[in-house]
Amino acid sequence: MTTIRLAIVGLGKIARDQHVPAIAGTEGIELAAVASRNASIAGIAHFATLDELLAAAPEIDAVALCTPPQGRHLQAEAALRAGKHVLLEKPPGATVSELNPLIDAAQQAGRTLFASWHSRFAPAVEPARRFLASRNIKSVVVEWKENVKIWHPGMLGRRRDVEPFIEN
């Protein structure tokens, strides 16, 4: 089995609590580098930015972009241009319209572009998709139950605009 040398870009709470242990527990994946302004992991190559990482560590096979979604599109483009596979943490972009150009770029580069969304593999997702496909959705109400104080420290009080994913 070939080992995938992975870099995490943005070493915040989700990356530390979820990505690092998942990588450590997955055979064939090696955490080889981190790009983060404010955090590092002892014994792992560290860079302040993705651009520094891409320039100095060409042996990296893939990057997990765990940064805020507002800048993730440009980071994903840069990583794909550099020939890296890309994982986009949720949400995959600041807007839905950012995703199609990234899909095209990944196809042109022959690389994987994967958008994580922990619920997308839940057992109810496929039946819900089939149910919604046969209906004309006019509006959606989302009741958010995630504890922002735990999973998104510092976001409390900030406005978070959300573009609807289901349109008429």
Tell whether 157 is covered by a domain. Answer: no
Q: What is the pLDDT of residues 152-166, one digit of tens each?
A: 555 544 434 433 333
Question: So which residues are the catalytic ones?
Answer: 90
pLDDT for position 164: 38
Tell whether 13 is covered by a domain. Answer: yes
Tell whether 104 is covered by a domain. Answer: yes
Residue 83 has, within 13 A of its CA and on its CB side, a CA count of: 7
Tell whether 51 is covered by a domain. Answer: yes
pTM of the model: 0.74
Q: How many domains does the chain have?
A: 1
Q: Which residues pair with 31 in a beta bridge?
A: 6
Residue 81's H or E segment, with its range, is helix 69-81
Tell whether 97 is covered by a domain. Answer: yes
CATH number at 94 reads 3.40.50.720
Q: What is the pLDDT of residues 78-122, one digit of tens each?
A: 999 999 999 998 878 778 888 899 999 999 999 999 988 767 677
Tell whether 71 is covered by a domain. Answer: yes
CA-to-CA distance for 102 and 145, rounded, in angstroms?
30
Tell whether 125 is covered by a domain. Answer: no
Copy the structure tokens of residue 151: 């999973």
* Enclosing domain of residue 40: 4-115
Which residue type sits at 89?
Answer: E
Tell whether 158 is covered by a domain. Answer: no
pLDDT for position 128: 87
pLDDT for position 1: 75
Nearest Cα residue to 77 out of 108, 32, 52, 45: 108
